[in-house]
Structure 1
Amino acid sequence: MRVSPVSGARAGSAGSCYRLADAGMKGGVDRENSELEDLLAPVIAAGRQAELPSPAQVERVAARAPRILDCPPAQLHARLTEALCARHPHLALQALHELGLLAQLLPELEATVNFSQESQRRHKDVWEHTKTVVWQSVPRPAVRWAAVLHDIGKVPTRCFLDDGRVSFHGHAEVGERMFIHGPAARLGFPPALRQRVAVLIRMHLRPGQYEDSWTDAALRRFYTQAGEGLRDLLDLSRADITSKRPGQRKRCLLRISTLSRRVQALIEADAQVDPLPSGLGHVLIAELGLSPGPVLGRLRRRLEALCEAGELEAGREPSYYVERSRDLGLVGQG
């Protein structure tokens, strides 16, 4: 049985990328699939086997590169994802560039290739940085795609400051908009993945900005905005650390790990149900003749401890705790 050199799926099997929903369209669709397979085969090989395209392959594919956009977007996205989630995604990106396919598929990223050399004032090479981030990232589609596109907003936001520094202020938000109006539509991203990658691009700087002074409220805003993509965001942020300065990488990773632990602890704490009902304090005051203050506070803490120990039922009505306080002689205990 023939095996596809691109997907590794056996032709005609359930895992084949080229099964046809409509047999009557088979001829035209097969031609599109054949074109797609031929153009992307060197990219898949680079990602899987660390083999960059030969000069002959570059010449052959580059001459036909514009045809890549005639291929079905969903299948195009699937093949690119396959290459980017392979063992050598940075080489898959380099192959896309050398073959002339990157300029067709991701012109936003192609614009970063010579970006740092376009002026007399040099700055970090965005293209080389991107390839490093992609290579360091975990091989989940959302993280890999976000790694590929996280810095595309730097091209339109670059600003040279009077003190010699370079600013890319707002590049994360600009990059998100560029992704939504560009690659997301052009390459047939599934809706859920499109939404996840957009959030990751917009928030990719946030974990690295964490400080111990962040309040619980700030942490809640952070993980609420990240939503179900929180794990992906933290993994992307770890991959985005490419500094070669001694100790810098370790400090950045420690910062993200600290953020992760604090967020997880807060999520777990927020998920816990208060064992005592709302308004119990007012009922205890009225029924037991207590006054607001330390005595009431000690009684509440004792009731909470008994609930946690399983000696009292949690989540019951206030009258239950009034009665049990009397039965157990808790009123007036120091």
Structure 2
Amino acid sequence: MNELTAKRNAVTELMRISPLADELAGLFAKAGHRLYLVGGSVRDALLGRLSADLDFTTDARPERILEIVRGWADGVWEAGIAFGTVGVTKRGSTLEITTFRADVYDRVSRNPEVTFGDSIEGDLRRRDFTVNAMAIDLSTKQFVDPHDGLDALRRKVLDTPATPEESFADDPLRMLRAARFVAQLGFEPAPRVVSAMTEMAGEIERITAERVQTEVSKLLLGRFPRHGLELMVDTGLAGHVLPEVAGMRLAIDEHHQHKDVYQHSLTVLEQAIALERRDDPDAGPDLVLRLAALLHDIGKPDTRRFEPGGGVSFHHHEVVGAKMARKRLRALKYPKQVIEDVGQLVFLHLRFHGYGKGEWTDSAVRRYVTDAGELLPRLHKLVRADCTTRNKRKAAALQRTYDELEERIARIQADEDLAKVRPDLDGNEIMKILGLPPGPMVGKAWKHLKELRLDRGPLDHDEAIAELRRWAEENGVAPPAL
């Protein structure tokens, strides 16, 4: 695509939402101010994927912006006004309008001393990457591109308007954003960007865990997360953000002597992504599944043992890995449910390998389903993705075996509704039969009956009562006489 065609395409995409942009530009022009579509909105327009959420910049100061948009906007919010940003909603679109910025950073935190600028060129220079440092003057539909962002976009190169050392010193989060854009857009970082990231990786420690988590999640949810992760690991950034992932390069995978566990895990991530839409073609990216795929083997370095004869073992790496995954995700301030779900998937991912050629009893199948609970569809995908052998016959055999397990699960679920496995007697019946008040013994009896249910399948009512009385006698509980 040549430059003229790219600009024409961007203007065409802009005209798709022009009634809204033109209305807003007209309001600012009438008030004596310029308005520009800027940053990611211009980049996405050039890529043909402009969303309803648009970013604008203007020479108007924040208080003046408020005066201009009030009465026109459906809604206005001022949460970012200290940083020069006014938020607006209009006909289902979300617009952010920010005064030109010329910030100065203390280079200790990432918090700038907010300074308003007077030119679009000065505003664009302070932006993170050249592909985000383009603007469209809405009054003339002309491009403003002082840092050759259009050329970088065409070449799919990620570079900075200022030197990367200057840019990353101002805001180290931009290093993670570089990895995120690589994952989202499939771009290649310029050599000088990679060099600066490598030299300055430790500066990411200045950034709060919450902001780091946001960028890591966006990276993982991108189209090419492997590329973003490889950039983080190769530059040393992962050593500060996801050290367990970088640490997997030290462990040799016992099934794939030609790969380390790190490369195996990236392959599992890619294969899990390929399976995401297997059951639901309209499903979006699954953060929990992707985190579990990336982290499923992080326990291997800590459990690696060299066996006599040259073998390598990783006994109980799923147990150690689940603890490590939960600890890392807590450090990154992920929501509690995400932490628990990922930890449980890591804990369960190896259990299928005990299935052999179908030796599991129905009891073992029930436990597999019950322990997975609502995570079962994700566990199916994770286990299938974990097969990365290049031996086609072995891979096909593993997939057939898992097909058989899923078929057995479906049959038992149809007969017993495994999603709602509960004891054959509820708590009220247990208390009545044993003459117990509410308390811990009722819970222990309930748990015992559930274990029987998993082992033997449904019990009829009389059999369940007999088993409960047998348990009571063995545990010193004297039930009322029949």
Q: Distance in 2 between matches of 1:187 and 1:20?
A: 28
| Amino acid aligned to 1:201 | V
Correspondence 1:203 to 2:348: yes
Aligned residue pair count: 263
Correspondence 1:126 to 2:261: yes
Alignment of 1:46-65 (within 5 A): 46-65=182-201
Q: Distance in 2 between matches of 1:88 and 1:258?
A: 32
Alpha carbons of structure 1 residues 66 and 31: separation in structure 2 relative to 1, 3 Å: farther
1:101 alignment partner, one of 226, 237, 241 = 237
Residue aligned with 2:197, SS: helix
User: How big is each residue's C-alpha offset from its partner over 1:232-277, in whole Å with a ceiling of 9 and x where there is no partner?
Assistant: 111011111100013111111122222122212222321399xxxx
Alpha carbons of structure 1 residues 85 and 155: separation in structure 2 relative to 1, 3 Å: same
- Larger strand proportion, structure 1 or 2? 2
User: How big is each residue's C-alpha offset from its partner over 1:294-326, in whole Å with a ceiling of 9 and x where there is no partner?
Assistant: xxxxxxxxxxxxxxxxxxxxxxxxxxxxxxxxx
Alignment of 1:150-299 (within 5 A): 150-181=296-327, 183-210=328-355, 211-271=357-417
Conserved 8 A contact 2:176-2:212: no
User: How big is each residue's C-alpha offset from its partner over 1:184-203, in whole Å with a ceiling of 9 and x where there is no partner?
Assistant: 12211111111100001111
Conserved 8 A contact 2:173-2:212: no
Q: 1:304 corresponds to which residue?
A: none
Conserved 8 A contact 1:42-1:52: no
TM superposition shift of 1:177? 1.1
Alpha carbons of structure 1 residues 199 and 10: separation in structure 2 relative to 1, 3 Å: farther
TM superposition shift of 1:69? 3.4
2:203 alignment partner, one of 42, 59, 67 = 67
TM-score (structure 1 length as normaliser): 0.69
Q: Distance in 2 between matches of 1:116 and 1:20?
A: 53
| Amino acid aligned to 2:178 | P
- Larger helix proportion, structure 1 or 2? 1
TM superposition shift of 1:124? 4.1
Alpha carbons of structure 1 residues 29 and 96: separation in structure 2 relative to 1, 3 Å: closer
Q: Distance in 2 between matches of 1:170 and 1:11?
A: 50
Conserved 8 A contact 1:172-1:201: yes
TM superposition shift of 1:65? 2.0
Say which structure, 1 or 2, has more relative contact order (CA 8 Å, 6+ apart). Answer: 1
| Amino acid aligned to 1:2 | V
Alpha carbons of structure 1 residues 127 and 31: separation in structure 2 relative to 1, 3 Å: farther
Q: Distance in 1 between matches of 2:171 and 2:402?
A: 44
1:77 alignment partner, one of 207, 213, 236 = 213
Alpha carbons of structure 1 residues 24 and 189: separation in structure 2 relative to 1, 3 Å: same
Moved more, 63-72 or 166-175: 63-72
Q: Distance in 2 between matches of 1:189 and 1:36?
A: 21
Residue aligned with 1:137, SS: helix
User: How big is each residue's C-alpha offset from its partner over 1:151-196, in whole Å with a ceiling of 9 and x where there is no partner?
Assistant: 1110011111112211000101001111222x11221111111110
Q: 1:285 corresponds to which residue?
A: none
Conserved 8 A contact 1:142-1:193: yes
Conserved 8 A contact 2:250-2:301: no
Conserved 8 A contact 1:219-1:263: yes
Alpha carbons of structure 1 residues 214 and 153: separation in structure 2 relative to 1, 3 Å: same
Q: Distance in 1 between matches of 2:112 and 2:389?
A: 46
Q: Distance in 1 between matches of 2:178 and 2:251?
A: 25
Q: Note the aligned Cα RMSD (angstroms).
A: 3.2
| Amino acid aligned to 2:266 | K
Q: 1:146 corresponds to which residue?
A: 292
TM-score (structure 2 length as normaliser): 0.49
Moved more, 89-98 or 196-205: 89-98
Conserved 8 A contact 2:326-2:342: no
Conserved 8 A contact 1:76-1:188: no
Unaligned runs of 5+ in 1: 13-18, 279-334
Residue aligned with 2:319, SS: helix
TM superposition shift of 1:3? 4.3
TM superposition shift of 1:24? 5.9
Alpha carbons of structure 1 residues 69 and 261: separation in structure 2 relative to 1, 3 Å: farther
Q: Distance in 1 between matches of 2:78 and 2:269?
A: 33
Residue aligned with 2:219, SS: helix
| Amino acid aligned to 1:186 | A
TM superposition shift of 1:96? 0.8
Q: Distance in 2 between matches of 1:4 and 1:141?
A: 23
Residue aligned with 1:112, SS: helix
Unaligned runs of 5+ in 2: 1-36, 45-50, 57-76, 85-102, 104-108, 114-127, 129-169, 274-284, 426-482
Q: Distance in 1 between matches of 2:336 and 2:55?
A: 28
Q: Distance in 1 between matches of 2:112 and 2:408?
A: 53
Q: Distance in 2 between matches of 1:133 and 1:31?
A: 40
Q: Distance in 2 between matches of 1:245 and 1:220?
A: 31
